[in-house]
Structure 1
């Protein structure tokens, strides 16, 4: 296990860089605060990529010409301290082409900064939902689904202990210039021992993406991430956002709206009403059927009946049939279970629980800072692209906002 964050805490002052203990195992570069200030032109607003309760993310250029995203912890932010600890503990474990990589760090007095690779082509949320954006072609959607699935499978099955991301969403899937996906933002991630079936924790994540058993009880497992990924697949299939007041599922989740359409698509091969109309039927039918099967399996109410991410990868690659993925479960007809999965409860009860949960979180936000629900592209590391022109759509509010008092604001301006 990595050294705890308390071991990284410095009592020093000034702008020099302080190195964590060698037991932490960092192989990345250390930077001074002055070096990172110079790289970002004094952390100027022109280089601002994103902001949240934790602090700010700026675009920077290192002396060797490497472009980076620099995440700066807001001094005195308790939630930011926890997110910084989680990212530091997790990111040193992960090395995968479909995960955003750490370049280095800076610990200087009260300052805490992480330096990441810069991913130049914004987020999946921006490309799918940004106002005025061209329709994302089907091959791009398929490529992004497979890449992000591989990144998530690596976290769950190739890391020891496994890593539960806890905030999988379209805004946290970054896109590079070749439209390869990179999963980002490990600020809410949890390390889970292989012997643990679940971890009881405070509920944090993003509305519209939360697995029902996690939202209702705080019992977290890798299958919670699988559910969230299923919602992302539904976004790729339908072109809708999980919370979209312009659509018919204003009060109910996109998942509940999609369930009967998923069943119809898989049983009868009818995609009408489910597939994004903007595609104008320009997609590979077998690939679409495969992604629909994956989405239906991932968003099952019962966590233990959801597939592993490695199975999802194999299915998206065409190496696992829908029948194998379903494992005898009739699509669209999986049972709803309570958090212990020992008793059934009704769909209506589930909807009521989620509505109460959402109401509580929004009330907490209003008490904190009078926050509105309007939000836009919300990744920490996406390139500035849309705020200045009014682009960006509403994205789900996060339950981490309850403690942070933050919204996912329009953070994409003109590229510098």
Structure 2
């Protein structure tokens, strides 16, 4: 076994990157090398030997020689969750979907440990004990260095292991505890992952911290804009009464539901996505991608439209163009964006999709930078309409990019009406007074309004739309069944 470099230090030992039998591994050399603990260490190694789960770090071996106690595990190149979360800039946070999928990984790993025989209680669940592989899968580590629940309850003696910031009140106070202590820790971890903040940063004194958590019920402040399903989950996970904290099996289900409501939002959209996996296999309890050919069947059935056998049908092609990014699949993330751009999902949606995708000024989800590159070659009054990619997408799903005075390229959001019956843009007169120009129906109706073109100086559609081939196609009977005759 060869040591290559030191990766970090923890309360249990020093972790090294190493090589064992030709494979890169992680080697944890333990601080505690007391020979009297050797039998207990061997028992823990024996339990680790039989643990196999995708969200638990793979145990590969151990050195049980007195004075050289060490554990060898798989090496995960992306480091720990703490690094992944806090190394990103405030302007580039992880998407909520990615965070919730990572949190679900943690819950699945912890559920496996808690349901093991004997049950394994981690007692030191925190972001630095959650490692990330090259596919963003999160795996739990260092549980083998904690306590195993051999009876119904455990009680810490002496100093509790781990970092206090993530510890439950019962652990901090040395009271009898159960596996629900890990649920409390998970709540703090989940809050940290979502907010990107360190928990309890204002606390410096340990005794005051314990008093605040245990006697005054202090918990991290939950952002008001956090989805209610996540707010309630956090509050239940870190409940002072451990009996009222949910088990990880329930937590997994609630995270899956939170993934759907925060990613898709639209109730019809959620139903369509769920229906796309009925009777089929889906990994981990929630589907992340589905072939477009199958999804289209479910989609058309839901909106009450007959699916044409002609795969060059303009409605079918419009739906496909807006949903499929690669490999002929619809991903959960893309469907969520689609629902925010075009909700509500109802019988008239195909008509609206075709009308917007076949106008020359619509360029889809191109980036701000790409829109500026396209427009840079054109004169004042040239414009395009693109799909918004920054929140709040559901409130302002479209963006107008145009060439303004002196060749300057400006960007303006298009907003959804309060009753979701149409769209509006805001304008300013020469005195700076704001006003709204509204339309009913699909987004295309807004740009049929001559007042919009006049007030915003939208003269010439920018060429180069990726959807031009759809716009040029003519149905066999010479008419488009989705577009009203003009």
TM interval, short-chain normalised: 0.5 to 0.7
Instruction: Name 1:219's counterpart in structure 2.
Output: 176
| 1:137-286 superposed matches below 5 A | 137-157=95-115, 159-193=116-150, 196-202=151-157, 203-245=160-202, 252=212, 258=219, 262=222, 271-272=224-225, 275=226
Between the aligned partners of 1:321 and 1:226, the Cα distance in structure 2 is 22
Q: Is the 8 A contact 1:143 1:179 kept in 2?
A: no
Secondary structure of the structure 2 residue equivalent to 1:191: coil
Shift of 1:204: 2.4
Instruction: Name 1:314's counterpart in structure 2.
Output: 253
CA separation of 1:141/1:86 partners in 2, compared to 1, >3 Å: closer, same or farther?
farther
Between the aligned partners of 1:80 and 1:245, the Cα distance in structure 2 is 38
1:116 aligns with 2:116: no
Between the aligned partners of 2:57 and 2:102, the Cα distance in structure 1 is 14
Q: Is the 8 A contact 2:45 2:62 kept in 1?
A: no
CA offsets per residue over residues 291-347 of structure 1, 9 Å max, x none?
32221110001000111110001111129999xxxxxxxxxxxxxxxxxxxxxxxxx
Instruction: Name 2:16's counterpart in structure 1.
Output: 58
1:291 aligns with 2:230: yes
Instruction: Name 2:334's counterpart in structure 1.
Output: none
Between the aligned partners of 2:203 and 2:155, the Cα distance in structure 1 is 35
Between 1 and 2, higher relative CO (CA 8 Å, sep ≥ 6) is seen in: 1
1:101 aligns with 2:58: yes
Q: Is the 8 A contact 2:35 2:67 kept in 1?
A: no
Between the aligned partners of 2:89 and 2:17, the Cα distance in structure 1 is 25
Q: Is the 8 A contact 1:87 1:189 kept in 2?
A: no
Q: Is the 8 A contact 1:156 1:164 kept in 2?
A: yes
Which of the pair is proportionally richer in strand?
A: 2
Between the aligned partners of 1:125 and 1:79, the Cα distance in structure 2 is 34
Between the aligned partners of 1:148 and 1:217, the Cα distance in structure 2 is 25
Instruction: Name 2:83's counterpart in structure 1.
Output: 126
Structure 1 length-normalised TM? 0.53
CA separation of 1:177/1:320 partners in 2, compared to 1, >3 Å: closer, same or farther?
closer
Shift of 1:80: 8.6
Between the aligned partners of 2:254 and 2:239, the Cα distance in structure 1 is 16
Shift of 1:179: 1.0
Secondary structure of the structure 1 residue equivalent to 2:69: strand
Instruction: Name 1:10's counterpart in structure 2.
Output: none
CA separation of 1:221/1:82 partners in 2, compared to 1, >3 Å: closer, same or farther?
farther
Shift of 1:237: 2.4
Instruction: Name 1:7's counterpart in structure 2.
Output: none
CA offsets per residue over residues 148-167 of structure 1, 9 Å max, x none?
0000011112x011110110
1:71 aligns with 2:28: yes
Q: Is the 8 A contact 2:121 2:149 kept in 1?
A: yes
Between the aligned partners of 1:109 and 1:156, the Cα distance in structure 2 is 30
Q: Is the 8 A contact 1:230 1:298 kept in 2?
A: yes
Q: Is the 8 A contact 1:57 1:70 kept in 2?
A: yes
CA offsets per residue over residues 162-187 of structure 1, 9 Å max, x none?
11011001111111111111011124
Shift of 1:137: 2.2
CA separation of 1:83/1:142 partners in 2, compared to 1, >3 Å: closer, same or farther?
farther
CA separation of 1:217/1:74 partners in 2, compared to 1, >3 Å: closer, same or farther?
closer
Q: Give structure 1 stretches of 5+ with no counterpart.
A: 1-35, 42-46, 266-270, 276-287, 323-416
Secondary structure of the structure 2 residue equivalent to 1:192: coil
CA offsets per residue over residues 390-415 of structure 1, 9 Å max, x none?
xxxxxxxxxxxxxxxxxxxxxxxxxx
2:93 to 125, 135, 152: 135
Secondary structure of the structure 1 residue equivalent to 2:120: strand
1:91 to 41, 45, 48: 48
Instruction: Name 2:458's counterpart in structure 1.
Output: none
CA separation of 1:105/1:177 partners in 2, compared to 1, >3 Å: closer, same or farther?
same
Instruction: Name 1:373's counterpart in structure 2.
Output: none
